[in-house]
Amino acid sequence: MKTAFAKIGRALAVALALTSAPAVAQDTVEAVRSRGVLRIPGILNEDPYFNKDPRTGEWRGFAVEMARDIASTLGVKLEVVESSWPNSILDVQSGKADLAFGITATPQRALSVAFSAPTYFNSFVIVSPNPELAKLSWAELNDPKYTFAVDMGSSQDLISQQYLPKAKVLRFKSRDEAIVAVVSGKAVGLVNTMLNGLVMTKKTDAIGRVMVPQPVLSTPSVVAMNYGTDEKWKAFISAWAEYNRRIGNNQTWIVKSLEPFGITLDDMPEGVGFGG
C-alpha cells in the first residue's frame, strides 16, 4: 500500500512540475520562415517613410526598404498591411504585424511594445517662413509671443510640451491641418522632425524652410516588437538595426527615399545626421 501511495505521489509531483513549468517562448524566426511572410504596418501618404502607389499597389519608402532587407535576410516575402501611426503599435501588440518601423522611442510606448536598437536618429525642427526664427534657440522660442502648430499626440507634440511650455501651441488632428495653420499665418512655425520637414518644404513652398534650434534635439527611431516574442527575435532585429545604421545602409535608404522630392544630403541642415 505504501508503495502504491509513493508511486501516486511521484506521479502527482511530475504532473505538478510540468504544469508549473514556464512556457517556452515561440521561435519567432522559425515562425516567420514557416509562414513565408514578414508582416509590417504601412501608412498611406507618409513619405519618405511609407507610401502606396494607387495604380500598382506597390509600397515605397525607406521603412519599406528596411523591412524588405530583413525579409530577404530571413528568406521570406514582405507583406505591408495598411495601417496608421497609432494603430501600428496596436498591430504589433495584437500579432497582426511582426514589426513596426519608423517608431519614435518614448517611455510611454515602451510600456506597450519592445524596442530594437536605433535604426537612425531623427532631429526635431521648426519649419517656418519667418527667417528670424532661424537664429533662435529652443529657450528663446519658448515665449508667449510665438504661436506654433503641431499634430496632436505625436512625438513632436511631446517635444513642444517639454521645450515650448510658455509659447502658444495649436494642436491639430492631422499634420496637414498644422501645415495650413502656418501657411495661413495662424502659426509662425510648425514643430516636426527633420525628415518630415524637408518633405514639407518641397511640397509646400509657402511653409518656408527647415530650422534646427539649439541644442539639437534628436530621438532614436526604432523597430517595435511584441513583448511576447522570444529573445532570439529581439536580438536579431536589434543586431540588424545596429549593423545597418553603423555601416550606413539605413542612411542610404533614407536618402534614396528623398530623391523623388529633389532632396539630397546637401539639403540636410549643418551638423545634423542620422547616425547618432
Domain count for the chain:
2
Confidence of residue 276 (pLDDT cuts 50, 70, 90): low
Give the structural domain span for 183. 123-211
pLDDT at 23: 46
Q: What percent of the chain has pLDDT over 70?
A: 90
How far apart are the C-alpha atoms of 65 and 31, rounded to whole Å?
A: 22
Does pLDDT of 69 surpass 80? Answer: yes
Of 211, 232, 248, the last residue of a domain is 211
Residue 48: cis peptide before it, omega within 30 degrees of 0 = yes
Q: Report if residue 3 sits inside a domain.
A: no
| 112 & 128 share domain | no
How far apart are the C-alpha atoms of 224 and 192, rounded to whole Å?
A: 21
Q: Provide mean pLDDT across the span 188-211.
A: 94
| 129 & 197 share domain | yes
Does pLDDT of 59 surpass 90? Answer: yes
> What digits encode the pLDDT tens for the residues 16-40?
444 444 444 579 999 999 999 999 9
How far apart are the C-alpha atoms of 59 and 70, rounded to whole Å?
A: 16
List the grid coordinates of 134: 532661424
Single pTM value for the model: 0.84
Q: Report if residue 8 sits inside a domain.
A: no
| 129 & 116 share domain | no
> What digits encode the pLDDT tens for the residues 214-249?
999 998 999 999 999 999 999 999 999 999 999 999
Strands (E), the chain: 37-43, 51-52, 59-60, 77-83, 100-104, 114-115, 120-128, 147-151, 168-172, 189-193, 209-211, 218-225
| 130 & 202 share domain | yes
Of 183, 211, 239, the last residue of a domain is 211
